Every structure is written in structure tokens, then in C-alpha cells.
Amino acid sequence: MKIAVIGGAGAMARIIIQDLSECSDVKEILVADYQEGKAKEYAASFQDSRIKGSFVDAYKIKETANLIKGYDAVINSAQYYVNISIMNACLKAGCHYNDLGGMFHTTRKQLELFDDFKKAGLTAVLGIGAAPGITNMLSRYGYNQLDEVEAVCLSFAAHDMTDMKGIDVFAPPYSIRTIMEELLEENTQFIDGEYKTLPPLSGAKEIAFPEPIGKRTCFHTLHSEPATIPTSFKDKGVKEVTWRLSLPPEFEEKGKILASIGLGSKEPVKVQGIEVIPLEVLAAVVEKNVKQKLEGVELKINDMAYIRSQVIGRKNGRRVEYTIDCIARIHSRWEVNCVSSATAVPASIAAQMQAKGVIKEPGVWGPEQVIDPEYFFKELAKREMHVQVTIKEDLS
């Protein structure tokens, strides 16, 4: 297998590449990024002849296609802005494709390439990270158990117990650009059998997660799961697919303040005669701040997350609720935060499945449409992420 990773210098890509490197069946790994130096430096750090770094401008479809030609599968771990460009490059190069999500609206545009991928005999799996991704697969497991599906209620809560040694640092668990969009943008949920556009951070609901997370107030945010699951589950009558998020409380409060004063905006502003985009300034400042405050500091990361799908429906005439949780903790060898590993690992698993021909049906799909959940859960368990199921029957 030969697998290329676009956005290869990013935080999620680093763990994707780590996971791929541990699979002996993967014969070549391309680490491609606009930041060529960082890509090559990270590739070289493995001291593994299978792994090489390269420059890529993902907006340039022809050049990207030439770079990835000959690879079996491409993992797009860059920001979702380049999803469609990379998909078109994969079509030209004859590569399977997967990504970490498209923030709903881009995902729906990507689905329009279904016929192109089917004609080319290629598979594209959209949103195969933690959420979306693991969430979709948890939902598919619940769907498989039921005769009818009424609702799929998705949620995510993270908790950070790391001893920061007195250092006050604003360290995002994943892309600050994505977090700002989640905090600021209107979101689309599937409610009462139709899509509804809701205000940012609406739908506040207290959800009880196991300790040490406990009860958390979770909010609707813009997310990709409602873009695919309603169609995937329509044959069993699903009328609701919703998503709610809770970040570590201290981080979430700081994030809300930054969003409220406009630092998550994509609209240019002039500063001393120079036009800048607040979100890009924020991303650069956050990256610099984390690097400066934590460089040379040895921290033992200690965090965890619950990724949850509650699937409600009927089985043998009785109303039943399946609560399926994936528990992500710090990986014993990689020592990266749980959100990063939970986001990265599914894309690696899916790419390996695509390259091996385990995912056979050509076209553009949500993960829940083409990946067997029990196979997927076994692969997660190999990476120290475990799934547990709770069943409530005869609901009133």
C-alpha cells in the first residue's frame, strides 16, 4: 500500500503518519504540505525510508494530481477549504480519498461528486475523524440493532487533567479555526424530518457522561454528521439527527470570549493600513503562544473524551435506546492528546481499508454507509480506543 497525507505537517496528520508507519503493509507514505520544510523535517524524523516529505499547494489540482499519482489512497488532513480541490486531484490521479470533515456545507457539495467517483471506480469517505467519523460509526452500530430509527443524538465531551505546572496557556485540542467556526456560525440540524438552521451555540442540553467528565452542558454547533446520516438511515424512518459539543470548560470559556470580540471573524480588517483576517491572526498568535510557553517543558498529558451516539427507535415492537460511547484516552506510546489521536486514527484505518479493497463500493460516502462498525471498532481497540454500549428498553 502507498498512502499520501495532504496537510502532512499539521497536528492531526502527524498522528495519522505515526499510525501508518506502524503498519508493515504500508510500503510508502507521502507527507505533503504547503509548509515544505516542516513536511520534510517531520518525514525525516522517522528515519524510515518509506516516509518522504514534499511540497503541495492543494488548490492546484493538476500539480497535486501529478504528486499523488501512483498512491492507492489519499488522506486529506488539511482544513476543509481544500476538500473539493483534493477530491478532483484524486479523480485525475486515480486515488481513493478520505478526509476529516467538511463542516456540513462543504460535505454536501462534496457529495455532488458521487457520479464522478463511481465512474472512476474510486471511493471517497467523507468525515472519517473522531466527530465526524467515530460518531457516524457508533450511530451505524445502533442503526443495525433496530427495526426502526427515530432519532440519532450525537455528542462529544472532553476533559483535560494535565498538570500544566502553573503555565497558563491557551492550547486548542484541535484546529482553532474549526473551533471558532463552531462557536460563531449558524448550524444545521435535522429535526422533525427536515433540515433546520439554528443560531450558534443553541440547543443547550445537560448530558450526563461518566466520571471524571460528569454532567456537561452541550450545544449545537455546525458539523458534518447531519449532512449524511439522515440519508443513510432514511429507510428506517429517521426524523432527527443532531450534534452537540462540550469542550474542556476553562478552554471553552476563553474560546467564547475570543469569538465574542471578533477574533474568529474571516472578514478582513485594516490594522495600521494593513489588511488582515482576524481568524488568521488568532491562529498565528495561538500557535506562537503555545510554542513559546511550552517549548522545553515536559508535560505528561492526561486527558480523555467521550464520543457518543444515542440511537432511539424500535426493536421487536418495543421502544429502545442504544447509547454507544467511544472512550478516548492518552495513547500509551504516542503521548498525544486524546482528541488528536481519536481524530487521526480513523482516517488511517479507512485509508488502509481503501487501499486493501475492503471498502469496495465506488462513489462518495459518509463513513456509516461503507464501513462495517464492528470491524472498525476492533481496529480502534488496537489503538487503545474502546467502545461500550448501554441499552434502555421499553422507553415511555
The answer to whether 134 and 346 have CB atoms below 8 angstroms apart is: yes
Residue 252 is placed in which grid cell?
Answer: 471553552
Residue 176: other Cβ atoms inside 10 A? 23
Contact 88, 17 (CB under 8 A): no
The domains found in the chain, sorted by start residue, are 2-130+341-380 (3.40.50.720), 134-264+295-338+384-393 (3.30.360.10)
pLDDT tens for the 396 residues of the chain, in order: 999 999 999 889 999 999 999 999 999 999 999 999 999 999 999 999 999 999 999 999 999 999 999 999 999 999 999 999 999 999 999 999 999 999 999 999 999 999 999 999 999 999 999 999 999 999 999 999 999 999 999 999 998 888 888 898 998 888 899 999 999 999 999 999 999 999 999 999 999 999 899 999 999 999 999 999 999 999 999 999 999 999 888 889 999 999 999 999 999 999 999 999 999 999 999 999 999 998 888 888 888 999 999 999 999 999 999 999 999 998 888 888 899 999 999 999 999 999 999 999 999 999 999 999 999 999 999 999 999 999 998 766
Cell numbers placing 242 = 443532531
Q: What is the pTM of this model?
A: 0.94
All cell numbers assigned to 93: 490521479
Rounded Cα gap, residues 322 and 112, in angstroms? 32
